[in-house]
Chains A and B, each alone.
Chain A
């Protein structure tokens, strides 16, 4: 009996020792070498951003000045700093830029527009940011080039390099073979947000809510836009008149053994509804979500129906609660199927993250527009498509708080509009600031 017991204890001691070793290994972390970078092997970057393939925002609306058409604006390359020369911005020559339209609500594209850009031969002159591009349209299993050798305007670098910028930009509007109108090039970032306050709702500045006074962190920054103005007849399905759109970016897959620079296109970024990648999709699934198309979105539905933001609201504002944190069929409807009641843009039971636009709803006259869109009583705005001026931050916060399920709160970030006025005509997005006259992070005027 004595013997086995000693053995048991000895074994226990050894195991405890191992456990301790592990503890200690934790305790002495950082004891590794620091003095030498000792990098004789190649240390390629591991996680690096790809701004030229980064979808920032997507808009879709019935053109206010041309109601027989709908306009889709998709933006890339976040935070272009006009003053950042000699870092000039262009579309990537090795990426493919996509805009998709789903006419029957099955999450699969019925029309796809693919954009490929090429630097001009004179590109060696540093600062020439003009590019040529090709537009390929795929529909009914056939694809055709509807635009070739089209030119983007150069970036707005300053009065000396790019004088009379508006006229220059106007030359960047082209007509495609199918009757649509297209623009591609640098624009002011139409998105506006007090990023410092979006999720940290404590910081809603001085309790301003949707009454201005917030700080628009995006003021003065530019993006690269592709704008398409399409005759409604091409998008309208003739029954419920709802078209779902999304945008994406692809890069080519390569492999070690085949030695080629070309391969299958792999989607690396996408956007349908705003803020989904940032707020809804967990870190572990971000690459996967970005590579997925809306037809396969069912697997992500649970993150839409139990949004983290609702939990945050509950934690921060218990006095305004309870906030519904799970089983949010209202959010699933707004973001994944469209709203059936009120009858707005429902496309069927298939859950797919698309921006759904009801083409039969006429644009709201300028003096009656509400930036809060549908929840502001203006059915021509988000989440029925998305106009450039729709305040998606305020709308999202309120909808997540429970606006559609009878829990109304005047939440908002205190930035109610873009820093510059958008245009009344195609491509609607304002011209970028020049590298000369940049202003960042402007304060939004306070109103009551």
Chain B
């Protein structure tokens, strides 16, 4: 009920304008806010909380809620300058109340975003010790376990999470876990539930639609995927994940020019290396080699920046480098670094692929096998496994994996689907 009031407050800010003195937000309402911010106008909520904290800087509820709202702002805008702010206010909440649940879990979420998975796990476990009945803490734990390659623990955490509270947060995690074990249909069912439970919260709803679209895309249902991406963009205009998802869908449908326009918009908002890399690939496929070269060069710059900022993003960069044949030996080093921090099947896959591209296929084989150990039905991983087999001179095995990749998704990659096609029929 008070959440309603909070939403109303958002409305009050909107109509009152920035100059109007906002009504003070009482602590009891703030309590409700932490669940409610996604539903309303996060920007107005942030403004309200900032005002509240200028009056009462040690209000734990306001601090932790503002921390979560800042994290939500990153999701909405891609503006990473909210990360240090979230970090700051959440730590201030902990300084006042060392065993604060929300601040601890919030810092866990922040650590995940920064790819500090060990730290995230520690925070998640600490949050669990504070409140074992709160569903959100199992989200932090499970997410960290997944990236660290501890799958049984991760799945147990997600199961516990939905048992405690079925919600968009827990459904979405079950969906991802199902996707990892190769149950794409089950993953889509769980994500549809997530989407339904996210109705009324714009960003979360858009996010579930994008994930649903990506699942469909992964099994070659590009038209359905495009529809979901459009629904996401209607709910949350200019959502970077939605722009990227729609671009990928359009590319899979053969509309490369449209894909290019959309991905350019996504890159303009959030230049993630995978977005830039995809844009380059689209440019290359369109025969715009100069433009593609520019995008590829930009990845080098992003890599430099990430390194300077201490961001651990080596797997993505390594994947890009391996795909584009940049300095194979160094790529292996990068992939190993990435693997060390994320010994998940993603790490296995990228390291195996980097080794294969460096011609070290005997070394690559165990990694590529491990990448498929959960039974994941991912066309790219099948393709990588086929590539390793081909490189080892096992023609029949290579053809099997290439066909498997194409059966899952005939348009799995602008770069590699044609290679798989050629290999499968040779």
Contact = CB atoms under 8 A, between A and B. Distances in A.
* Chain A bound to chain B: yes
Interface of A: 26, 29-30, 32-54, 56-57, 77-79, 81, 86-87, 89-90, 92-95, 189, 191, 193, 195-200, 203, 215, 217-218, 221, 223, 251-261, 266, 268, 274-275, 278-279, 283-288, 290-291, 440-441
A78 B88 CA distance: 31
Interface in B137-187: 139-140, 143, 146-147, 155, 158-159, 162-169, 171-174, 176-178, 181, 183, 185-186
Nearest to B34: A47
A284 B134 contact: yes
Contact of A261 (B190, B270, B315): B190
A420 to B, nearest CB: 15
Contact of B311 (A36, A53, A189, A191): A36
B346 to A, nearest CB: 8
Contact of B306 (A36, A52, A191, A200): A36
B11 A441 contact: yes
Contacts of A217: 5, 8-9, 12
B80 A285 contact: no
Nearest to B274: A40
Interface stretch (B111-119, B280-288, B410-418): B111-119
B7 A32 contact: no
A300 to B, nearest CB: 12
Contact of B186 (A42, A81, A259): A259
7 contacts: A33-B309, A35-B311, A48-B35, A48-B204, A254-B166, A256-B159, A257-B155
Contacts of B158: 256
A42 B112 CA distance: 10
Given A36-B272, A266-B165, A283-B102, 20 more contacts: A34-B309, A36-B305, A41-B147, A43-B75, A45-B207, A46-B140, A49-B3, A51-B199, A57-B1, A89-B200, A92-B199, A94-B196, A196-B9, A198-B26, A199-B27, A215-B23, A266-B166, A275-B2, A291-B133, A440-B8
Contacts of A32: 83-84, 87, 114, 116, 310
B221 interface: no
Interface in B10-27: 11-12, 15, 23-27
Contacts of A215: 23
Interface in B35-59: 35-40
B331 interface: no
B4 A56 contact: yes
A45 B172 contact: yes
Contacts, number: 307
A52 B197 CA distance: 7
B88 A30 contact: yes
Given A51-B200, A254-B162, A285-B131, A33 B146 contact: no
B201 A37 contact: no
A9 B51 CA distance: 50
B340 interface: no
Contacts of B164: 266, 287-288, 291
A279 B189 CA distance: 36
Contacts of A286: 134
B28 to A, nearest CB: 4
Contacts of B40: 79
B408 interface: no
Nearest to A268: B165
A221 to B, nearest CB: 6
Contact of A78 (B1, B26, B193, B346): B1
A71 B102 CA distance: 39
Contacts of A36: 80, 272, 302, 305-306, 309, 311, 313
A200 B166 contact: no
B75 A79 contact: no
Contact of B12 (A46, A279, A440): A440
Contacts of B1: 56-57, 78, 191, 274-275, 278
B316 A78 contact: no
Contacts of A47: 34-35, 68, 102, 105, 136, 169
Contacts of A285: 131, 133
